[in-house]
Amino acid sequence: MKRVLVLCTGNSCRSQMAEGYLRFYSNGNIEVSSAGLKGTTLNPYTIRVMEEDNIDMSKQEPQGVEEFAGEAFDYLITVCEEADETALSGIHYRHKAHFNIPDPALKQGTDEEIEEEFLRVREIIKKNMLKFLGGILSEDHQSV
């Protein structure tokens, strides 16, 4: 089973959404984890917008990247520039994919405006994670 780690700055929005979609669309055929460079809490908008797409994130707990020290992954996915540019020590991976996804947590405004930004970013993440999974599937077919 392939192992994937999704990494961003805080593990409160983007990497959590990516993990949710990878779990959902891979049907349990890959092992997915997510982490952040800094400790934080799960953003309530993340739970809300993912629930609207039938993915339950309510039991997700943000994790720091240090919790994966010494582990090996088939893929490291970074979803922000800071994570992409950070040298990771103790985490090993065979392949790396990078998606520069805007941070919806930076949006200011009314509740509706913030939720709209989370929905917009959710769709970007969904599209990119489906593209990523399609790439894995085509790699598997080529090696058969």
pTM, to two decimals: 0.93
* Cβ-defined contacts of 91-95 (< 8 Å, 24+): 91/5, 91/65, 93/5
pLDDT tens figures, 66-77: 999 999 999 999
pLDDT exceeds cutoff 90 at 4: yes
pLDDT at 143: 45
The dotted CATH code for 2-137 is 3.40.50.2300
pLDDT confidence of 139, banded at 50, 70, 90? low
The ranges assigned to domains in the chain are 2-137
